[in-house]
């Protein structure tokens, strides 16, 4: 080989794609994490606009903004987009960025698959949104896709089923990647019980994903064959049962709600010790509590179905099993409070979000405990009380934890500080408007207002007006969040110093992490 030839050969291997190809072909965990986070934020706004259309319709009784069919499609779509488009990809984005750095790995274990996991998602959601423009409109059965409603819909339901399959493939691939990375790529000395809690919660979440997502795939596949291939899984006329769909769906759906909250617990467990300047209280019990919650999540599914006419023994089992989940969850809340006890607490933006999560998620947990009580649930079921309950868990728990995480890790990722004043403003606007939006819905539900209905009786007007005003305030406040992120990413703010944030163990973390393409980004060349 001539010298010139060798130079050309080496140069070829140093070539990095730039522009759009960098993002399409990247196998770098930071790039992929960034894409997940941007995608998540985009879907958060898409789903949020749908929520505002729903709240605009409910601003007063009667039908004024959207027709009832579109209203039903919007409630369905809002949930599917927020769950599979905003929350799950957001947490996967944090996992991609943080897990390799936290366990001392050079990258994720399966970097090509990591790229594919992400790039499935834009196509899946293009298809889901496209279903709104089909002849029959989008899916109008609620995000739970209950038969027989979902057996009857038009082509929009088929597009929804295919998009759910694609999201599921993306989730399972991502989960396998996380498990393999954590099990095989920890730095020497990083044994399991030394891992940061964010890594632990994600390891457990990944197992939940691998176990639960195929069940959803099975449910929607059976739905598809009922719709087009003459099966009668959910049709009583052919010997099937619509309640069977509910059992299969919720056997996925209940672990899913823990998939949506466990990474949030991990985030809170990172932020609270930092700003309390103390190590996390009861690390081992936090790990076991997370595992306990994950185990119990598989044996409580029918608490979503107390009103289907189960035998009393079944209702009692699911009631007690559900109440049991309150124990490990309570352990977590206790440990967060104990971590802060006698700490030198400061209230930077990430800490404010973490505290709001602890406080508001607990409200959601307690309303969930109310829903677990069978005779009470007969009153609450399918009312706005349930809507209030799960938004306290999913918005105040999952979404606000991601906002806190963004403020917490942005200085480390970008090397720039965000504006603390604007961050706190965003926090207070979000927290206040969130409560204005969703707290009144508890009262509406207790008074008997049903979910997923575009019209309501006159006596529900005042609380709906308050709720709708809160929703528009909450939505507008998020524009400030986008502005804050853009300012930090564009390098408009002051440089982050080594003092951001002083860790609980006195070891300050610094912003000197490897550049986006480090030595492990490409396989070694074979000579």
Residues that are catalytic: 78, 107, 143, 170-171, 254, 256, 258, 269, 303-304, 329, 332, 451
Q: Is the dihedral of CA 153, 60, 45, 371 positive or negative?
A: negative
From start to end of 214-367, where are the E strands? none
CA angle, residues 28, 30, 31, in degrees to nearest 5: 70
Dihedral in degrees, nearest 10, Cα atoms 305, 137, 239, 80: -30
Residue 450, phi then psi, degrees to nearest 5: -75, 155
- The answer to whether 250 and 301 are in contact (CB under 8 A) is yes
Q: Which two tokens stand for residue 476?
A: 């507008």
How many C-alpha atoms does 29 have within 13 Å on its Cβ side? 26
- The answer to whether 304 and 252 are in contact (CB under 8 A) is no
Residue 358, phi then psi, degrees to nearest 5: -60, -45
- Nearby residues of 281 by Cβ (< 8 Å), 6 or more positions away: 335, 336, 338, 339, 341
Q: Is the peptide bond before 337 cis (omega within 30 degrees of 0)?
A: no
Give the separation between CA 422 and CA 372, rounded to whole angstroms.
40
Residue with token string 């739970």: 144
Give the separation between CA 248 and CA 244, rounded to whole angstroms.
6
How many C-alpha atoms does 521 have within 13 Å on its Cβ side? 21
- Nearby residues of 408 by Cβ (< 8 Å), 6 or more positions away: 267, 270, 271, 274, 350, 501
Residue with token string 């080496």: 10
Q: Which two tokens stand for residue 264?
A: 């949030």
Q: Which two tokens stand for residue 268?
A: 């809170």
- Nearby residues of 314 by Cβ (< 8 Å), 6 or more positions away: 302
Q: How far is the CA of 173 from the CAs of 34, 41, 210, 259, 362, in angstroms?
A: 18, 21, 9, 15, 32
Give the separation between CA 171 and CA 179, rounded to whole angstroms.
12
Eight-state DSSP code of residue 279: P
Q: Which two tokens stand for residue 416?
A: 């720039």
Q: Is the dihedral of CA 103, 271, 204, 485 positive or negative?
A: negative
- The answer to whether 460 and 444 are in contact (CB under 8 A) is yes
Give the separation between CA 386 and CA 368, rounded to whole angstroms.
8
């Amino acid at each position: 080989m001539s010298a010139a030839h060798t130079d050309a050969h080496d140069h070829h291997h140093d070539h990095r794609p730039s522009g759009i190809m960098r993002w399409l072909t990247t196998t770098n965990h930071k790039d992929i994490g960034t894409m997940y986070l941007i995608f998540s934020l985009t879907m958060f706004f898409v789903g949020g606009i749908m929520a505002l259309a729903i709240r605009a319709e409910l601003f007063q009784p009667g039908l004024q903004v959207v027709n009832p069919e579109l209203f039903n499609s919007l409630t369905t779509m809002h949930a599917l987009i927020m769950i599979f488009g905003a929350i799950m990809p957001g947490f996967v984005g944090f996992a991609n960025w943080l897990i390799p750095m936290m366990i001392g790995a050079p990258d994720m274990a399966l970097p090509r698959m990591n790229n594919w996991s992400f790039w499935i998602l834009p196509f899946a959601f293009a298809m889901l949104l496209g279903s709104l423009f089909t002849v029959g409109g989008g899916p109008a059965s609620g995000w739970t896709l209950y038969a027989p409603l979902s057996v009857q819909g038009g082509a929009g339901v088929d597009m929804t089923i295919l998009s759910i399959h694609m999201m599921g493939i993306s989730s399972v691939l991502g989960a396998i990647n996380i498990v393999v990375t954590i099990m095989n790529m920890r730095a020497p000395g990083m044994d399991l019980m030394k891992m940061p809690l964010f890594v632990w919660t994600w390891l457990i979440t990944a197992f939940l994903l691998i176990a639960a997502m195929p069940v959803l795939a099975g449910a929607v596949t059976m739905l598809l064959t009922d719709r087009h291939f003459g099966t009668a899984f959910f049709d009583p006329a052919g010997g099937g049962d619509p309640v069977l769909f509910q059992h299969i769906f919720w056997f996925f759906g209940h672990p899913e709600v823990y998939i949506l909250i466990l990474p949030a617990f991990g985030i809170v467990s990172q932020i609270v010790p930092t700003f309390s300047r103390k190590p996390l209280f009861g690390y081992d019990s936090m790990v076991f509590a997370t595992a306990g919650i994950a185990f119990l999540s598989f044996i409580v599914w029918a608490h979503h179905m107390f009103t289907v006419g189960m035998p009393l023994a079944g209702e009692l089992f699911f009631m007690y099993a559900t109440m049991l989940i309150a124990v490990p969850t309570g352990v977590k809340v206790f440990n967060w409070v104990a971590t802060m006890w006698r700490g030198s607490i400061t209230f930077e933006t990430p800490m404010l979000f973490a505290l709001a999560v602890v406080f508001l998620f607990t409200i959601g947990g307690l309303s969930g405990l109310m829903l677990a009580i069978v005779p009470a649930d007969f009153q609450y079921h399918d009312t706005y009380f349930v809507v209030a309950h799960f938004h306290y868990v999913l918005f105040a728990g999952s979404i606000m934890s991601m906002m806190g995480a963004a403020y917490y890790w942005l200085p480390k990722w970008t090397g720039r500080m965000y504006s603390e004043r604007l961050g706190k403003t965003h926090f207070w606007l979000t927290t206040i408007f969130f409560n204005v939006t969703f707290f009144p819905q508890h009262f509406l539900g207790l008074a008997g207002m049903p979910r997923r209905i575009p019209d309501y009786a006159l006596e529900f007007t005042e609380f709906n007006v308050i709720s709708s005003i809160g929703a528009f305030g909450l939505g507008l406040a998020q524009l400030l969040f986008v502005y804050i992120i853009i300012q930090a990413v564009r390098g408009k703010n002051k440089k982050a110093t080594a003092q951001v944030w002083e860790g609980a163990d006195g070891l300050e973390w610094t912003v000197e992490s490897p550049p986006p393409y480090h030595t492990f980004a490409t396989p070694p060349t074979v000579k």
